[in-house]
Amino acid sequence: MTTPTARFEQAFARRHAEGRRALVTYLCVGDPDERESIDLALACVAAGADILELGSPFSDPSADGPAIARASERALAKGGGLDTTLRVARAVRERTDVPIVLFGYYNPLFVRGELAVVKAAAEHGVDALLVVDLPVDEAEGLRAAAAAHGVGVVPLVAPTTTDARLRAIAEAAAAYPVPFVYYVSMTGVTGGASAESALAEAGARAGAVRSATGRPTVIGFGIDNAARARVAAADADGVVVGSAIVRRIEEGTSPEGRAEAVRALVRELRDAI
């Protein structure tokens, strides 16, 4: 049986051996509904995604741009939230061994309790948590609880991250399971398109983050097509694409159409990196 931490190691090692990069795809769970979120996650895997980010919808998604904010609103209006996201994770885990990251904000974790969330995440097949608004120096309790259940915690690094903060992230990576580091390519929110020169600079920075932390580093924010993915991936271990996928789902008019639109985009991204 593959362990949660090993899933990430195998995913990155497989692409490295091929001379390629890992592709991380994000979905806002519950948009358009719970059942279709399962199908869309599996569509991403079938088209070449190496890691799934399952986003738990939240009423104040401060790091997310308009596309994901609208998706969160739609999902919440249908009763979505952490429980729905966990159920989708379990259903996906029953069908694939691809690593699953539970992406969310700290408030729902705080309300339920860190230990309860980590335990439920592990039971539902989640391999790691990414809590976008929880700084590394406030995450000791979550990292310890997660580690006790074999779950990793993904830290974020931004262009504004100081050397001192990067050292703290490196120390956390040495002490606890950190499957990879998420490098945010730009200041601002998701969904904007980064210039290719900025993504190339982000790629170089991601390489420095990898050296500092000893962990694979992927780039997210501003990657919405194959050309930008190729540039960003040149010096990184992978790329994250979210808003572009969410927009394809938003524009779809049928389950079949949405699934095919997502598969087509993921195939383009996979071929590019």
The answer to whether 264 touches 41, Cβ cutoff 8 Å, is no
Q: Is position 9 annotated as part of the catalytic site?
A: no
- Which residue ranges make up each domain of the chain? 21-272
Percent of residues, the chain, with pLDDT higher than 90: 87
- Closest among 211, 213, 216, 265 to 242, alpha carbons compared: 265
**Residue 61 clears pLDDT 90, i.e. is over it:** no
Question: Which of 45-49, 193-197, 250-254, 265-269 shows the lowest per-residue confidence on average (mean pLDDT)?
Answer: 193-197
Strand blocks (E) in the chain: 22-28, 51-55, 100-104, 128-131, 152-153, 156-157, 181-184, 217-220, 238-241
The DSSP call for residue 269 is H
Give the pTM. Answer: 0.94
Taking the C-alpha atoms of residue 172 and residue 26, their distance in angstroms, rounded to an integer, is 24
Backbone angles phi and psi of 134, in degrees to 5: -110, 105
The model's confidence at residue 5, banded by pLDDT at 50, 70 and 90, is: confident
pLDDT at 30: 98
pLDDT of residue 188: 52
Distance (Å, whole) CA 9 – CA 6: 5
Identify the pLDDT of residue 64: 81
Q: Would the pLDDT of 3 be above 80?
A: no
167-180 pLDDT per residue, tens: 999 999 999 999 99
Question: Rounded to an integer, what distance in angstroms lies between the CA atom of residue 41 and that of residue 139?
Answer: 28
Q: What is the pLDDT of residue 199?
A: 84
Q: What is the DSSP letter of 237?
A: S
Q: 3-class SS at 56?
A: coil
The residues pairing with 55 across neighbouring beta strands, listed in sequence order, are 28, 103
Q: Is the pLDDT of residue 189 over 60?
A: no
Q: How far apart are CA 130 and CA 132, in angstroms?
A: 6
The residue-averaged pLDDT of 265-272 equals: 98
Q: What is the mean pLDDT of the chain?
A: 93
Residue 84 has pLDDT above 80, yes or no: yes
| pLDDT confidence band for 195 (50 / 70 / 90) | low
C-alpha 252/C-alpha 260 separation (Å) is 9
| Residue 268 falls in the annotated catalytic set | no
Point out the catalytic residue in the list 64, 127, 201, 224: 64
How far apart are the C-alpha atoms of 34 and 21, rounded to whole Å?
Answer: 30
Q: Is the pLDDT of residue 240 over 70?
A: yes
Please tell me the CATH superfamily of domain 21-272, with its number.
Answer: Aldolase class I (3.20.20.70)
Distance from CA of residue 77 to its chain's centroid? 23
**What single-letter DSSP state applies at residue 137?**
G
Distances (CA, A) of 144 to 18, 151, 175: 34, 10, 9
Q: What is the pLDDT of residue 1?
A: 44
Q: What whole-number distance in Å separates Cα of residue 54 and Cα of residue 27?
A: 5
Per-residue pLDDT tens for 85-110? 999 999 999 999 999 999 999 999 99
Q: Tell me how far CA of residue 207 lies from CA of 36, 181, 212, 234, in angstroms.
A: 36, 11, 9, 10
Contact 272, 230 (CB under 8 A): yes
Annotated catalytic residue within 53, 201, 235, 237: 53
